[in-house]
Amino acid sequence: MHTSRTPVLAKLLVAGAGIMSLANSVTIPFLAIFLRRELGLEPPAVGLVIGSSVCFSIAAGFFGGALSDRFGRVPVLLTGLVGVVVSFAGFAAAEHLATVIACNAALAFSSSVFAPVSKALLGDLLTEGTRVRWFSHQYLATNAGYAVGPLLGVALGLSGARIAFATAAVTYGLYLAALALAAHRAPAAPATVDDLPAAGRLLGSLRAVATDRRLLILLVAGLLLESVQLRISALLAQDLDISFDNGAQILAAVMTANAVTVVAFQLLAARFVLRLEAVTAITVGGLLLFAGMAGFAFSTTLWHFVAAMVVFSLGEVFIVPSEFALIDRIAPPAARGAYFGAQSFTQFGGFAGPFLGGLLLAEWDGTVMYLGVGALALAAVAVYLAAGHRITGLRRNPKGAESRATGRPGGR
């Protein structure tokens, strides 16, 4: 579907990524404080509540995307947002552990639907030559929200307070209303299921995902990259706490550098990435990730770590939109939601990286840990390069795609 109204809905999806990350970052990072202060939970119970959300998030990303193939993108997005509103409202009113666990599970499940389904909807709405640009904008909006949110929460005195969850519920409610209105004025046609093995059934999307060797290869490569980049703060925190007296200050500065670098360079880098083939962009990004990890391995001062993080963050900027572009490239239109949902399985890298890093740190030291985990980025680059050469259609000329695009790129 490509109408004059399409860019409005696309812009709202991108804005929604920023709104959601802003609301989440004012609340979720301080959830542990809320659970301890308001409900008096002990650390083991706090860890159980927060840690359990990972499994719900991965499951929601996959099944949410698949459901959007069957029932349409917009209905699934709106249902997910309703779940988020109810979850945050539940947190604000919670008095018992059971309520908190239920709200946390519902929040993880509902909010994790947004990312894959919104990307699938962008793929439905936009021409091929404009999608990488919009994926980049969405990534920028997400990071901008997370960069501002925690500071805003502290400044407004919302950190760990019930009012923060109530505010988040209202914010999501307003966005839900805006998205519903935009979708009503510019309705997006749901993906057809005629090309699926079981036409008209959810199993069609799931079967398309399970039998696509190309997708499996990309998921393996993506998991290797996520093992390096998804929980980099956990790797840094373990080493810095052991090796430096001012480890907490270094970690704070480094993670701030990560957010600032991503936000500052995303738009500039997106223009450059658009000129590169997606496999090439990921190759550059993977090499930058490894260079950043090598920088951490041999850093001795705060500024060494900050410089290494800038290099590392530039790698992320190259990788993230390009990964989405490759998934979009191989996904059948009728199963696009399931394909983007399947990408959520790469989040298991968020467990694999810190686990491997912990083993290396315990047996050797931080230098070995950074280089060992960083080597996974090189392995991912090798997989992507091999896939680019062997998988027909994975490499395309982005300039050619841009020239074939109809309408104004990016809605401008």
CB 237 within 8 A of CB 249: no
pLDDT for 174 = 93
Q: Which residue has the higher pLDDT, 91 or 393?
A: 91
pTM for the structure as a whole: 0.72
| Dist. CA 228–CA 289, nearest whole Å | 8
Q: Which residue has the higher pLDDT, 183 or 221?
A: 221
pLDDT mean over 215-223: 92
Domain spanning 6-188: which CATH class is it, in words? mainly alpha
Enter the tokens of residue 313: 């963050």
pLDDT mean over 315-324: 87
Give 281-311 pLDDT, tens digit per residue: 899 999 999 999 999 999 999 999 999 999 9
Q: Which residue has the higher pLDDT, 190 or 250?
A: 250
| Dist. CA 279–CA 265, nearest whole Å | 20
Confidence bin at 160 (pLDDT 50/70/90): low
Give 105-132 pLDDT, tens digit per residue: 888 888 888 878 888 888 888 887 777 7
Confidence bin at 52 (pLDDT 50/70/90): low
| Dist. CA 296–CA 48, nearest whole Å | 31
| Dist. CA 200–CA 193, nearest whole Å | 5
Mean pLDDT over the full length of the chain = 79
pLDDT for 124 = 84
pLDDT for 401 = 42
The domain defined by 207-407 folds into Growth Hormone; Chain: A; (1.20.1250)
Q: Which residue has the higher pLDDT, 108 or 201?
A: 108
The segment(s) of the chain belonging to CATH 1.20.1250.20 are 6-188, 207-407
Q: How many CB atoms lie within 10 A of CB 137?
A: 23
